[in-house]
């Protein structure tokens, strides 16, 4: 496996529990791969409730203070319906990995469990680009099929507003957006990744300026990647083989945490 880094951004008490559980499971599931398993970098709001210092593969960084402006960590319940959390903070995970010298970077949400650690799934992610477990094409709806044209694309309200605010045009028929729970950047030069991070901030700032929903972050990521010509691809095995996402069933994940650590 390449010299890969796993990153995540962790805000709030519940997600600290999920991070503890992820690292616990990761340590077990990668036990036969200790020489090749990726390091894990967690970018957190604070250290309260985090219990990962016993793992030599984990590094913890803190978010910049201004990144948490207007965010109440006690209300980051962490499903797609949450309006309080700024999902664009996930870009700080990529920045932390870059600062640590990595260019092959797996971002994953911490409300995730490992089904089976299978390095071949990551090795199969070629050609270079941003690989997601799943995603959306052609602005989310319409287009993308033979005989279609730009007039057939039904832009989502957020993407339409960002397109207008940023005065941005592209090949909308082939435009893609990744589902951000698992995003693996591989084989990409450092300047392109940095441009992706910087463009993501630009689009995120436009989202805030227009008071658009911050939870529909796939639009922001798709635009940021398109702006720096970072190709987006999909590999369903990232979610069907390697990881399982509990985004809409946090209660089950908390019960697993309770069984593992004996707390509430």
What tens-digit pLDDT sequence spans the chain (264 residues)? 789 999 999 998 889 999 999 999 999 999 999 999 999 999 999 999 999 999 999 999 999 988 877 776 666 554 444 556 788 999 999 999 999 999 999 999 999 999 999 999 999 999 999 999 998 876 665 555 555 666 677 788 899 999 999 999 998 888 899 999 999 999 999 999 999 999 999 999 999 999 988 878 899 999 999 999 999 999 999 999 999 998 878 888 889 888 888 875
Query: 211 with 163: CB under 8 angstroms?
Result: no
The span from the CA of 225 to the CA of 80, in Å, is 21
Dihedral of CA atoms 190, 194, 199, 202 in degrees, nearest 10, equals 180
Please tell me the predicted confidence (pLDDT) of residue 214: 81
Considering the entire predicted model, what is its pTM?
0.92
The span from the CA of 22 to the CA of 4, in Å, is 17
How many C-beta atoms lie closer than 10 Å to residue 137's C-beta?
19
DSSP 154: -
Please tell me the predicted confidence (pLDDT) of residue 81: 45
For residue 232, the cross-strand partners are: 130
Please tell me the predicted confidence (pLDDT) of residue 80: 45
Give the CA distances from residue 14 to residues 20, 21, 64, 93, 241, in Å, rounded to whole numbers and listed in that order: 10, 11, 20, 18, 25
Cβ within 8 Å of residue 263, ≥6 positions away:
257
Please tell me the predicted confidence (pLDDT) of residue 192: 98
Please tell me the predicted confidence (pLDDT) of residue 170: 93
The domains found in the chain, sorted by start residue, are: 4-261 (3.90.550)
Query: Hey, what are 130's tokens?
Result: 């941003």
What distance lies between CA 156 and its chain's CA centroid?
21
The span from the CA of 117 to the CA of 37, in Å, is 9
Query: Hey, what are 249's tokens?
Result: 């069933």
Please tell me the predicted confidence (pLDDT) of residue 51: 94
């Amino acid at each position: 496996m390449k010299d890969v880094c796993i990153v995540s951004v962790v805000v709030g008490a519940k997600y600290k529990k999920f991070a503890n559980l992820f690292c616990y499971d990761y340590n077990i599931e990668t036990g036969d791969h200790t020489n090749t398993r990726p390091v894990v970098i967690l970018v957190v709001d604070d250290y309260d409730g985090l219990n990962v210092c016993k793992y030599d593969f984990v590094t913890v960084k803190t978010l910049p203070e201004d990144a948490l402006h207007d965010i109440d960590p006690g209300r980051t319940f962490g499903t797609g319906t949450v309006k309080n959390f700024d999902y664009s903070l996930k870009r700080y995970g990529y920045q932390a990995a870059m600062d640590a010298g990595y260019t092959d970077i797996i971002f994953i949400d911490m409300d995730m469990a490992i089904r089976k650690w299978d390095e071949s799934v990551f090795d199969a992610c070629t050609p270079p680009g941003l690989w997601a477990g799943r995603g959306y094409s052609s602005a989310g709806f319409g287009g993308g099929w033979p005989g279609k044209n730009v007039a057939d694309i039904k832009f989502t309200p957020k993407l339409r507003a960002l397109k207008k605010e940023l005065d941005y045009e592209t090949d909308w028929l082939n435009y893609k957006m990744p589902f951000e729970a698992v995003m693996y950047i591989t084989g990409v030069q450092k300047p392109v990744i940095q441009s992706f991070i910087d463009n993501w901030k630009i689009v995120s700032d436009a989202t805030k300026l227009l008071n658009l929903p911050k939870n529909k972050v796939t639009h922001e990521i798709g635009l940021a990647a398109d702006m720096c010509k970072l190709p987006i691809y999909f590999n369903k095995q990232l979610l069907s083989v390697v990881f399982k996402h509990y985004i809409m069933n946090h209660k089950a994940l908390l019960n697993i945490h309770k069984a593992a650590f004996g707390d509430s």
